Structure 1
């Protein structure tokens, strides 16, 4: 079957009846929550092992640096090799890493440095799975189905902060760390099995380039000519610096140190974000945005305001409400952004463009984690850090109102 025939066929098959896409959806349904179950367990374990919050920040930094360094290679590999195999190896390797952690916890040998080392290996795995997943989705669906398909995949991603913290926080309390990490292992193992059920045509995988170096140069040439790619990446580059680090590191610390809460309290806040994000994904799976660029920028401004409000909050449940609304807004930013990129990118370039987007947009995230950790170590309040970060995100959003490439995108 030719590529053109496959595209025509994809038009006739609804997203929810597309066999390959549904297996991808099921795999993501296990993979993302499984990772979050592991993550909340690792976060709380780190907070339990040491009172030095610098090490807690290093948990995020350790994952982000190898992810950043290897993303470009991950994009090239996604365009040259079987994307299904890449996703399988990623989920299977993460499951094995969790088995190692279970052994360390069971033998009471786990240390902060073990958690940081495992975070490095998880970051390496992410660098290859992210471009493969986002390049595979538009390969399985027609362009007109991408917003809905991305929304469904995002649902699984955002069910993660719901099921992940709920299962993780509950299992820490009931079964201890061995229980929470065992659940994470099982979910990632099931995800890897679901990926194996996806079948791809040979011509869906694209044509291999003579050398990876030529692939890399072609990718950069293509990105430079795409005005939308440049606009989106520049905006995301600065947003991630002022949002990802302070919030990822800040929420667990606020719950434990400011609110004097427990793992259940952290689960409540992170679950709230997951619920908001899930509602945003459901909304975009049922409606089609006429002006996605306007929705993206408007949501960005509101996100910055609410982030600053989170830093001002002195109540756990008020924080959970604010974070829930932020989760909703994040979907109104991420899904249109991803759909714009996929719709305007040639299929053979998708892996490289997805890795380019994440590499550049998250380029400052390790610096953000390091700076946030350093400020905390210097005695700066995490609440002040979050207030300033939210204010800057708001100003970036207001400035982006001048960006006609994004604002006028149909």
Structure 2
């Protein structure tokens, strides 16, 4: 077994944090699991969630349901999530549904239901907060929990949290507990589904170092490819590499981060509340659209995006001053533009007007496949600000 002494001239400052107990809780195949609560007859089958215009299940006269099959899907939708049975066939999130149909043509295809997913998300987070309230919300299906002040031993505490989630939702989750957030997140994925992994500093050589570097949150496909080109595939190999080599290929800051995370070093705290930097909405079309030929359709889509952002802002209690748009052309090239207003707003009409100004600065001769609107520079509405001062102009695809 590798020993810490195998890394000369490297210190392990994480020992000072051994008393910390940070948990990462990740719901198992969350969207798919929620759907299986609704359609229990699909348990054990490959099920894919995603796409647009997917038919809802149909209740038949004999009391059974007829479900859409992946083989029958036509369009450019993507997989939102899939059951573990579908994943075993090579179908994963963000994959195009047409490609997924080649791998698992007989898989069941269900439409997304974000209202249901948000409902179960609230339920599981409330259940965890009843036991361990120091929680950092990381999204609809995952949280960090600081267990350091809890008197209960780690194993029984993890079991109690998992059981509370199951009691509240009927769903399973996986938990990783470690001295920091970096290791906890890695651990929560080691024994899925319904797993519990507890890691100490002494376990790093045996449990963490043999893993591929892509298991580290923050090493994406591009960085992973560069590391592989350097012959660095495992976390142990990354931990052993000379700093000069990483600095040459990644720069001083990212190289230092790579060396730290390879050794399990992470000083980040569990943040119980954070302010969002921006709020955005975007949509991918079933077919490529053109600003002139599809003006009416685009106008409705554009207005709906702005209205949904305005609703998000009001619901979350924010106003925003910088409005931006995002387009992805048919060749997948992405272009963005933004505009800073004299004063912040949460009104749909004001957001649409400003976003329209951004669109006037975007080349619209070619067709595009995605349109998005974003509001940033957020603040609370009770903060002092002046009145917006907009001027009227014709939008590229206004009615």
| Bigger RCO of structures 1 and 2 (CA < 8 A, at least 6 apart) | 1
Name the structure with the higher strand share: 2
Please say whether Structure 1 and Structure 2 have the same fold, judged by a TM-score greater than 0.5: no
TM-score calculated relative to the size of structure 1? 0.23
The higher radius of gyration belongs to 2
Name the structure with the higher helix share: 1
